[in-house]
């Protein structure tokens, strides 16, 4: 590596894991002269789990713009490492909703949990550069997908879309995906692990991808693009019990999140400013972050293609029933 990046990553991690809960504090209510919008009929205290990564900038930007307040939502954002890790928090009632990869809901549904996908959240990009990449250290000698054979690669959540699509990309490039050793490393810790030499490559989104490349790492590209271009990065989900117990809360959340994602897709500068603010990254560093396609449309998520690939590589023993999994 060309320079040390541990200090910057530690700062990002500290803010991500501590500061996100503060972001849910309600903004001061506008005075009648500030806004002519009618007050919402009901208000809701909502806790959502989301990863401390650039994609959450859509929620942060919408929060700062007052969109959740307009829908009567006092929002608290709690950090999560992945979609699968959020499931126990949903079951225990510690959170109301979660933003994460669909593999958590896939497996939870197959295990008998009545988890429900409510909306999409963000899609990867069909053409380079993508929102996540596999980046390798210079010392690893990895320059193409096949080179990952026999290497140690980190993912934030195992047995999910990250390592699945990496395996598929390595196989398509003539490598042996069965020899890859996947290890679990939280995104903020991946640059430091690469620098220390404990892993050869890491699957990471921005801003961590940019940190590693700037420090001399090799970007192999996005495994989603190599397998299922445009695949969903994150989805919005909850449990059927939450829907049954408080449908008004679910309706308000879905409407607010849909508006938040539409706002984010049209206000890139505000999203970048929110990322800079909540992850405490200098504006110059945020400028190079690749943003996803923010969308609530599950029809663009490529869920069935992801299930088919999971069955092919043995990640799932059977296919979850999307007609049951997707909330009606």
The CATH code of the domain that includes 205 is 3.40.190.10
pLDDT recorded at residue 38: 61
Phi and psi, residue 176, nearest 5°: -110, 100
| Mean pLDDT over each residue of the chain, to the nearest integer | 88
129 cis-preceded (ω within 30 degrees of 0): yes
Number of domains making up the chain = 2
pLDDT value of position 128: 80
Final residue belonging to a domain, choices 178, 205, 227: 227
Q: Are residues 100 and 138 in the same domain?
A: no
Residues paired with residue 119 on neighbouring β-strands, in sequence order: 236
Say if 1 falls within a structural domain: no
Rg (CA), the chain: 19
Of 166, 198, 227, the last residue of a domain is 227
Structural domain range at position 87: 6-27+38-125+231-325
Q: Which of 173, 194, 227 is the last residue of a domain?
A: 227
Beta bridge partners, 234, equal 122
pLDDT at 36 over 60: no
Per-residue CA distances from 54 to 60, 138, 152, 250, 276 (Å): 10, 25, 25, 25, 9
Asked, for residue 171, whether it belongs to a domain, the answer is yes
- The continuous run of DSSP H or E covering 97 comes out as strand 97-100
Of 305, 309, 307, the residue nearest 319 (C-alpha) = 307
Q: 172-181: buried (b, 16+ CB within 10 Å) or exposed (e) per residue?
A: ebebebeebe
Query: Same structural domain for residues 120 and 16?
Result: yes
Residue 83 in domain? yes
Longest alpha-carbon distance in the chain: 65
Is 13 in the same domain as 156? Answer: no
User: Is a pLDDT exceeding 70 seen at residue 13?
Assistant: no
Residue 317 CB neighbours (<10 A):
8
Lowest mean pLDDT among 67-71, 170-174, 214-218, 303-307: 214-218
Question: Does the pLDDT at position 49 exceed 90?
Answer: yes
No. of H helices and E strands in the chain?
Answer: 15, 11
112 and 244 fall within a common domain = yes
Q: Taking the CB of residue 123, how many other CB atoms lie within 10 A of it?
A: 22
Model-level pTM greater than 0.75?
yes
Domain annotation covers residue 174: yes
Cα separation, 240 vs 225, in Å, equals 33
Per residue in 214-229, pLDDT (tens digit) is 999 999 999 999 999 9
Using one digit for the tens of pLDDT, what is the confidence trace for 121-162? 999 999 888 999 999 999 999 999 999 999 999 998 889 999
Does residue 104 sit within a domain? yes
Same domain, 143 and 47: no
Residue 246 and residue 160 share a domain? no
Structural domain contains residue 33 = no
**Residue 20 and residue 114 share a domain:** yes
Residue 27: its pLDDT value, please? 42
């Amino acid at each position: 590596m060309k320079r040390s990046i541990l200090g910057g990553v530690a700062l990002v991690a500290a803010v991500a894991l501590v500061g996100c809960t503060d972001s849910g504090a309600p903004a001061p209510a506008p005075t009648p002269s500030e806004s002519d919008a009618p007050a919402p009929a009901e208000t809701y205290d909502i806790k959502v789990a989301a990863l401390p990564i650039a994609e959450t900038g859509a929620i942060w930007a919408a929060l700062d713009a007052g969109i959740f307040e307009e829908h009567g939502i006092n929002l608290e954002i709690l950090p999560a490492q992945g979609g699968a890790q959020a499931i126990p928090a949903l079951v225990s009632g510690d959170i109301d909703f979660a933003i994460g990869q669909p593999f958590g809901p896939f497996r939870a549904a197959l295990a008998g949990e009545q988890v429900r996908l409510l909306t999409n959240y963000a899609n990867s990009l069909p053409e380079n550069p993508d929102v996540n990449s596999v980046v390798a250290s210079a010392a690893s000698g990895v320059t193409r997908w096949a080179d990952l054979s026999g290497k140690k690669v980190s993912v934030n959540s195992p047995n999910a879309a990250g390592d699945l699509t990496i395996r598929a990309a390595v196989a398509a490039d003539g490598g042996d995906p069965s020899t890859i050793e996947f290890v679990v490393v939280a995104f903020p810790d991946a640059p430091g692990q690469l620098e220390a030499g404990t892993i050869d490559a890491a699957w990471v989104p921005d801003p961590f991808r940019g940190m590693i490349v700037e420090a001399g790492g090799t970007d192999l590209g996005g495994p989603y693009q190599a397998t299922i271009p445009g695949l969903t990065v994150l989805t919005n989900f909850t449990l059927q019990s939450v829907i049954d117990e408080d449908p008004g809360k679910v309706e308000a959340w879905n409407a607010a999140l849909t508006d938040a994602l539409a706002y984010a897709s049209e206000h890139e500068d505000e999203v970048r400013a929110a990322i800079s603010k909540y992850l405490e990254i200098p504006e110059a560093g945020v400028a190079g972050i690749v943003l996803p396609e923010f969308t609530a449309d599950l029809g663009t998520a490529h869920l069935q293609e992801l299930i088919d690939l999971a069955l092919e590589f043995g990640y799932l023993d059977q296919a979850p029933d999307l007609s049951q999994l997707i909330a009606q």
